Amino acid sequence: MRQSKKRSGNPFRLAVIGAVAAATWSSAASAGGFDIHEQSTVFLGSASAGSAAGGSLGSMFWNPAATAQFPGLNSESSYTLILPYANVDITGPGPFGSGSSGNIGIDATTSASYGAYQISKDLWIGIALNSPFGLASKPENTFYPGSYLGVTAKLITMNANPTIAYRIAPGITIGAGVQIEWAQTKLQFRDSPDSVAQFGGTDWAFGGTAGITIEPARGTTIGLGYRSQMTHEFEGTFHSEALTFGANVPATAKVNLPDIVTLSARQEITPTTRLMGTVEWKNWSVFKDLPLTTPGGTLAVDANWHDGWFFSVGGEYDYSPLLTLRSGVAYEISPVQDPSERLVQIPDNNRVWLSIGASYKWSDSITLDAGYSHIFVQDGGVNLNTVTDIGPFTGTAQASIDLFSVGMRTKW
């Protein structure tokens, strides 16, 4: 961390369905970095295996070509409870001694909603409403030594992604979309034994999505999807007893969010059994730091993250015409690869996902979904300085996450 000088039944009905279904959003990350992987109950149950290759409308998040999966008007909504646990132990040799944060995780919910409408034989339009990135953390012990590195950290995003998909030939569909994203953030760190500095701000960002789905043979689907990099430049106010003498001053903070490329396959083995797999790359190397610029200069939290990778395999089995069971396992390579990159607000590391799920066909038009995942996060070290170069603070971090999700798919 450093301190430096200042740096210079119709489309309308479809939209209503999607807007109502996305009434809640998330502020808790559960994937590597602070992106949110829980964008579909169906794919939560398979550990995101097959997520860009279709099978449910939630595949639109990873691949807009999946807008063209089903005839007529369809919608899907998912709601996920995120129960994180993370603890940071500061052991020294910083000037404020040793101590533990207690649980810094904050329980949260996230939702995702999708709608798609077939305009003609080969043309579909759709909309996805998601929270692609999020973060919520606060130590139980707000006076532990690591509070000088960070106390409360919150990031909320709301993303609207209108899409269009076109079947250019039998078995080949392409899709594209626009991302419109609003974000809000709150960052705090202790600036003295008796006070906490705080920044809060909001911003809009814009990006795109693109993808292709290929069916080279009956029962085989391959999907490739892309979500573009976006940058939020938050405008807000900064308050610090030590650095701004207790005054509220205008400030800006900049966050670079990664490109994401997802490749998935879905293979029918028997009429009742399907195998899926996913490989995903996330360009987290764009997240070098988090600069906070005030009239008095720039405070910057160094990150220097690396690209992240996600690998998953899973399967589905139709137990009966009404009940489908699924499960999956995933391994995720974190963008945090060194103790100097492991922020106390995001004690991330490589992780293993174990997931199960089920779908029940309630009627000809309604299918109910449920899923559960447990995420094992590898323990890691911490070696950081404060924004005013006090430190180093060294220690260890532990984390794990439980995810419970329910959803509904509807044919209108």
Instruction: Read off the pLDDT of residues 152-184 as tens digits, 9 standing for 90 and up.
Output: 999 999 999 999 999 999 999 999 999 999 999
CA 344, CA 12: separation in Å to the nearest integer?
Answer: 45
CA 134, CA 109: separation in Å to the nearest integer?
Answer: 11
Q: Which residues pair with 228 in a beta bridge?
A: none
Mean pLDDT of all residues in 83-105: 89
Predicted local confidence at residue 307, as pLDDT: 97
**198-207 pLDDT per residue, tens:** 999 999 999 9
Compute the half-sphere exposure of residue 38: CA atoms within 13 Å on the CB side of its CA: 34
3-state class (DSSP) for residue 21: helix
pLDDT at 8 over 60: no
CB atoms under 10 Å from CB of 320, counted, come to 10
State the chain's maximal CA–CA distance in angstroms: 69
3-state class (DSSP) for residue 42: helix
- Residue 7: pLDDT band (50, 70, 90) is very low
**359-370 pLDDT per residue, tens:** 999 999 999 999
Cis status of the peptide bond prior to 95, with omega within 30 of 0: no
**357-400 pLDDT per residue, tens:** 999 999 999 999 999 999 999 999 999 988 877 888 999 999 99
Share of the chain above pLDDT 70, in %: 92
**48-70 pLDDT per residue, tens:** 999 999 999 999 999 999 999 99
CA 22, CA 244: separation in Å to the nearest integer?
Answer: 39
Those residues with Cβ within 8 angstroms of residue 56's Cβ, 6 or more apart along the chain or in another chain: 40, 42, 43, 76, 369, 409
- CATH fold of 2-411, please? Porin (2.40.160)
Those residues with Cβ within 8 angstroms of residue 8's Cβ, 6 or more apart along the chain or in another chain: none
CA 303, CA 284: separation in Å to the nearest integer?
Answer: 10
Token pair for 371: 């899923």
Quote the DSSP letter at residue 399: E
Residue from 81, 82, 43, 80 nearest 60 by CA:
43
Least confident residue range of 27-31, 116-120, 168-172: 27-31
DSSP string, 189-247: EEEETTEEEEEEEEEEEEEEEEEEEEEEETTEEEEEEEE--EEEEEEEEEE-TTTSTT-
CA 293, CA 275: separation in Å to the nearest integer?
Answer: 49
- Residue 30: pLDDT band (50, 70, 90) is low
* Domain extent listing, the chain: 2-411
